[in-house]
């Protein structure tokens, strides 16, 4: 542990005013900071009732609970303390101000506590990502996946695979060293290649998960698309139960893509309202249309909304061909139809293309549509709970590992021990990149950018 580095502090709990505010301190001057602010060092890992004072004047700021976690057995591996204060602006500002006045102390950057935990070997890179996901989790399924990752699900696995590859490399290298002696190389390279082959299939099987782990992180994407004025924004508002999109009687007001996150039966669904898809001369609107179509194409499910009461419906349905995902037809404004026969319309629930009759304004037919969406999300994510890969970064690293193993396996055994060793080493490196053992500097910024201050 370095002693010359700054001691950092931050408000780690939510924005004041709140019942309680938690201020965390981490670094070599933590002990000094406690002495200055509360006049003593509490018993390690036991809550102590203390008075927090302005060091310069001795004025009492608050009565609080103080916790002292001496390093290296702390969350970050360094000396840490936590003050649980009354959560007002005035108390928090006074305490942060008093801490800032202590030599060697400064406000923490976003994610800096976690960065220290990582630097001190208390957390691996994939665990850091799991922690970020746990903080961002919106649904129970996301929370469970993040927690598994925080507890090392993919990190430990990747590290175990890396060790096996390193062992295989050692075998091949031993073969190279003994290459003067007849027969020995193949005896060593053979088992190494066998191990590489086994690993290759295991990793490839891990990758064949239809990206469901990543989807669970980001949410199943459902796009609401269709001609202008069909009632897409009205439907989105109803689904989201709040005023998320502007509803207007004039076509083309939803210029951009509006995003709403839903928790359906514990699974995350990201609803996108696309700009009223139509031809336009306005470049801004054209851009909106381009983006809308792009996202609609990438969606897992498209709700194609049409105005069931309007004439020219057939022409609108033709646009459906621009969309490649599973599409459900949503016939809206059913309340305007004189013929109420639609009420009993039901499409088979296992069909890829289903039709729903709804009225976004009266809410008729909405229960059926929501139930169908929830069932779709449930079945989509049902296999996900065992998925290892939760980010594109992981996927790419594993794909590169498989590619390197393939190259190693493609070498003619008798003549290319050096090439085999090199490809195996490259496979070990990509796994090391996944867990943060190698080339970590390149990815730290990206990973810690998502963190909030105080974590
Ligand atoms: P968008 O352009 O597809 O997003 O359509 P909007 O949601 O802005 O709705 C266009 C117009 O249709 C608005 O005046 C809505 O109030 C109206 N509207 C939407 N859904 C229904 C419905 O189910 N029944 C009736 N009668 N009007 C609707």
What are 44-88's pLDDT values in tens digits?
Answer: 999 999 999 999 899 999 999 999 999 999 999 999 999 999 999
308 or 20, which is more confident? 20
Q: Kindly report the protein residue whose alpha carbon is nearest to atom 14 of ligand 1.
A: 249
- Which pLDDT does position 218 carry in this prediction? 81
Q: Kindly report the protein residue whose alpha carbon is nearest to atom 12 of ligand 1.
A: 231
Q: What is the distance between the alpha carbons of residues 382 and 391, in angstroms, rounded to a whole number?
A: 18
Q: How far, in Å, is the centroid of ligand 1 from the Cα of 231? A: 3
Most confident of 53-67, 174-188, 255-269: 53-67
Q: How far, in Å, is the centroid of ligand 1 from the Cα of 317? A: 17
Mean pLDDT (the chain) is 84
What are 10-21's pLDDT values in tens digits?
Answer: 999 988 999 999
Give the position, in ligand 1's atom list, of the atom nearest the Cα of 228: 2
pLDDT confidence tier of residue 316, bands split at 50, 70 and 90: very low
Which protein residues touch ligand 1 with a CB less than 6 Å away? 228-234, 247-249, 254, 276, 332-333, 335-336, 359-361
- Which pLDDT does position 350 carry in this prediction? 57
Q: Kindly report the protein residue whose alpha carbon is nearest to atom 10 of ligand 1.
A: 229
Across 89-183, the runs of DSSP E, i.e. the strands, are 105-107
pLDDT confidence tier of residue 382, bands split at 50, 70 and 90: confident
285 or 50, which is more confident? 50
Q: 23 near 99, Cβ under 8 Å?
A: yes
407 or 140, which is more confident? 407
Mutate-to-test residue for ligand 1 from 232, 234, 250, 316, highest number of ligand atoms within 8 A of CB = 234
Mean predicted confidence (pLDDT) in 422-446: 85
Asked which of 11-25, 143-157, 180-194, 434-448 is least confident by mean pLDDT, the reply is 180-194
The yes-or-no verdict on residue 245 having pLDDT over 60 is: no
Q: Buried b / exposed e across 381-415, counting CB within 10 Å, b at 16+? A: beebeebbbbbebbbebbebbbebbebbbebebee
Q: Is 275 left (phi over 0), alpha (psi -120 to 50) or beta?
A: beta
Q: What is the distance between the alpha carbons of residues 192 and 418, in angstroms, rounded to a whole number?
A: 13
Asked which of 144-148, 227-231, 334-338, 427-431 is least confident by mean pLDDT, the reply is 334-338
Q: Kindly report the protein residue whose alpha carbon is nearest to atom 24 of ligand 1.
A: 333
- Which pLDDT does position 431 carry in this prediction? 94
Q: Kindly report the protein residue whose alpha carbon is nearest to atom 27 of ligand 1.
A: 333
- Which pLDDT does position 241 carry in this prediction? 72
- Which pLDDT does position 183 carry in this prediction? 55
- Which pLDDT does position 383 carry in this prediction? 64
Q: What is the distance between the alpha carbons of residues 202 and 220, in angstroms, rounded to a whole number?
A: 27
- Which pLDDT does position 178 carry in this prediction? 65
Give the position, in ligand 1's atom list, of the atom nearest the Cα of 305: 3
How far CA 371 is from CA of 2, 223, 228, 265, in Å, comes to 56, 17, 26, 9
């Amino acid at each position: 542990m370095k002693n010359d580095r700054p001691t950092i502090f931050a408000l780690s709990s939510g924005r004041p005013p709140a019942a309680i505010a938690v201020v965390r301190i981490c670094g070599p001057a933590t002990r000094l900071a406690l002495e200055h602010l509360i006049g003593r060092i509490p018993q390690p890992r036991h809550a102590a009732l203390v008075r927090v004072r302005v060091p310069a004047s001795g004025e009492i700021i608050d009565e609080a609970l103080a916790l002292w976690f001496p390093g290296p057995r702390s969350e970050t591996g360094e000396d840490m303390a936590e003050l649980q204060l009354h959560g007002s602006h005035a108390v928090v500002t006074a305490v942060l101000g008093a801490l800032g006045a202590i030599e060697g102390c400064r406000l923490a950057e976003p994610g800096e506590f976690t960065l220290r935990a990582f630097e001190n070997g208390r957390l691996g890179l994939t665990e850091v990502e799991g922690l970020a996901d746990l903080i961002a989790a919106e649904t129970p399924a996301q929370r469970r996946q993040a927690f598994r990752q925080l507890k090392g699900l993919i990190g430990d696995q990747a590290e175990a695979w890396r060790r096996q590859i390193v062992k295989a490399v050692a075998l091949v290298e031993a073969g190279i060293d003994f290459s003067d002696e007849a027969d020995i190389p193949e005896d060593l390279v053979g088992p190494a290649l066998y191990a590489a082959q086994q690993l290759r299939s295991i990793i490839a099987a891990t990758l064949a998960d239809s990206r469901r782990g990543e989807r669970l992180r980001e949410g199943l994407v459902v796009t609401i698309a269709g001609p202008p004025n069909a009632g897409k924004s009205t439907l989105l508002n109803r689904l989201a139960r709040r005023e998320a999109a502007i509803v207007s009687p004039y076509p083309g007001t939803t210029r951009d893509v509006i995003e709403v996150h839903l928790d359906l039966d514990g699974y995350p669904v990201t609803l996108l309202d696309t700009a009223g898809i139509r031809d336009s001369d306005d470049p801004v609107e054209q851009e909106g249309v381009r983006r809308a179509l792009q996202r609609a194409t990438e969606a897992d499910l498209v709700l194609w909304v049409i105005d069931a009461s309007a004439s020219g419906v057939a022409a609108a349905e033709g646009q459906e061909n621009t969309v490649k995902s599973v599409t459900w037809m949503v016939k809206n404004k059913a309340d305007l139809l004189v013929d109420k026969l639609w009420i009993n319309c039901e499409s088979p629930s296992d069909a890829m293309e289903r039709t729903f009759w709804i009225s976004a304004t009266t809410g008729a037919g909405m229960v059926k549509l929501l139930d169908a969406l929830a069932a779709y999300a449930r079945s989509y994510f049902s296999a996900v709970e065992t998925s290892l890969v939760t980010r594109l970064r992981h996927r790419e690293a594993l794909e590169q590992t498989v590619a390197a193993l393939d190259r190693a396996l493609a070498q003619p055994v008798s003549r290319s021990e050096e090439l085999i060793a090199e490809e195996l080493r490259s496979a070990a490196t990509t796994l090391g990149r996944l867990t943060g053992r190698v080339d970590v500097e390149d990815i730290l910024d990206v990973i810690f950018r998502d963190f909030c201050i105080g974590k």
